[in-house]
Amino acid sequence: MKKSKETPAVATSTPVKITVDGKEREFDIDNPTLPDWIEDHKLTAGGYPYDEKMKGDEYDKTLELLQIELVKAQAWLQATGKRVMALFEGRDAAGKGGTIFALHQYMNPRTARNVALTKPTEAEHGQWYFQRYVKHFPTAGEFVTFDRSWYNRAGVEPVMGFCTPEQHEQFLEETPHFERMICNDGIHFFKFWLNIGQETQLERFHDRRFSPLKNWKFSPIDIAGLTKWEDYTKARDLMFERTHKKFAPWIIVRANDKRRARLSVMRRILLSLPYDGRDLDVIGKEDKKIIGEGPSFLSKQD
């Protein structure tokens, strides 16, 4: 059993019954001891291809080299006026925020910014759905990331009942046309889905629940979503089916190991941008076990 932790003062819940790999389990987020069935599979959940995390020394060295390349890429953006926009989607606790932080860490914040919108205001509810996002799009020379995006309407909104079935269908129909316009305008456009296993998510929720630094990330909607894993899976698969296009593909990153996931995201961006001074030997090759495109990359276990 994992060593117990002191419970911080955050909202409590009651034990819930959830189905994991076809077995019914009881999970109490307020119990400071993590169950063995989560502890034993938190890395390998969902068919993850590695049984050990990437070593810290190797990660730190590679991360620094790739961040140097990102600084070079940003200089190229500023010199040429090219634009980059990258969306980061995934289940709660997939590692979106940490990946975005690693991307931006040494880039000039004047032309590299992150967008993380709160729920729509009353005025925004009355607007065209995409309108609140468009105003944050990059101008010449900018590198912009979105920590969640318009794809809220393909995941959390239909699963939690925050939109109607008609609104969901309209979104799936219109989004490829919207994204074709983005690409046709010359923006280097990336859509990343960080994919994690169920036990991985539960372990990360538990870690947040008992962390005095991260418990603000754990919310009532996370508790409500504990029993909706399959609902989110169905919504994700439908989203891939309807919005994965050659001009705007879904880039799937297996993210049970945050280190491998972050490096894979950086490599994909760097290999896609023809910036001056790009060092392909430093960037290296993609790990095809970790990163791929479209629904075919995900196994049935995911």
Residues 27 and 128: their CA atoms lie apart, in Å, by 40
Residues 72 and 31: their CA atoms lie apart, in Å, by 47
Q: Quick one: which of 244, 219, 224, 90 has its CA closest to 159?
A: 224
Question: And the tokens for 192?
Answer: 């990343």
DSSP helix/strand/coil, 290: coil
> Residue ranges of the chain with pLDDT lower than 50?
1-4, 7, 9-12
Question: Residue 299: its pLDDT value, please?
Answer: 67
Secondary structure (DSSP) of 193-244 = EEE--HHHHHHHHHHHHT-TTTGGG--HHHHHHTT-HHHHHHHHHHHHHHH-
Would you give the DSSP letter of residue 185? T
Element (H, E) at 84: strand 84-90
Residues 77 and 71: their CA atoms lie apart, in Å, by 10
Question: Residue 224: its pLDDT value, please?
Answer: 81
Q: Are the C-beta atoms of residues 29 and 206 closer than 8 Å to each other? A: yes
Domain 16-297, CATH 3.40.50.300 — does that match? yes
Q: Which amino acid is at 97?
A: G
Question: And the tokens for 41?
Answer: 């599979």
Tokens 């090759």 locate to: 285
Secondary structure (DSSP) of 37-77 = HHHTTTTTGGG-S-SSPPPHHHHHHHHHHHHHHHHHHHHHH
- Cα torsion at 195, 198, 203, 209 (round to 10°)? 90
Question: Which pTM was predicted?
Answer: 0.94
Residues 55 and 292: their CA atoms lie apart, in Å, by 22
Tell me whether residue 94 is exposed, middle or buried, using C-beta atoms within 10 angstroms of its C-beta: 0 to 12, 13 to 18, 19 or more. buried
In angstroms, the Cα distances linking 281 to 66, 271, 276 are: 11, 11, 14
Name the β-bridge partners of 147. 88
Provide the residue count of the chain: 302
Question: Residue 214: its pLDDT value, please?
Answer: 86
Residues 248 and 121: their CA atoms lie apart, in Å, by 29
Residues 120 and 135: their CA atoms lie apart, in Å, by 14
Question: Residue 1: its pLDDT value, please?
Answer: 46
Q: For residue range 291-301, list pLDDT tens digits in order.
A: 999 999 986 55
Residue 89: φ, ψ to 5°:
-125, 165
Residues 280 and 164: their CA atoms lie apart, in Å, by 47
- Cα torsion at 164, 230, 193, 92 (round to 10°)? 80
Question: Residue 13: its pLDDT value, please?
Answer: 58
Question: Residue 301: its pLDDT value, please?
Answer: 53
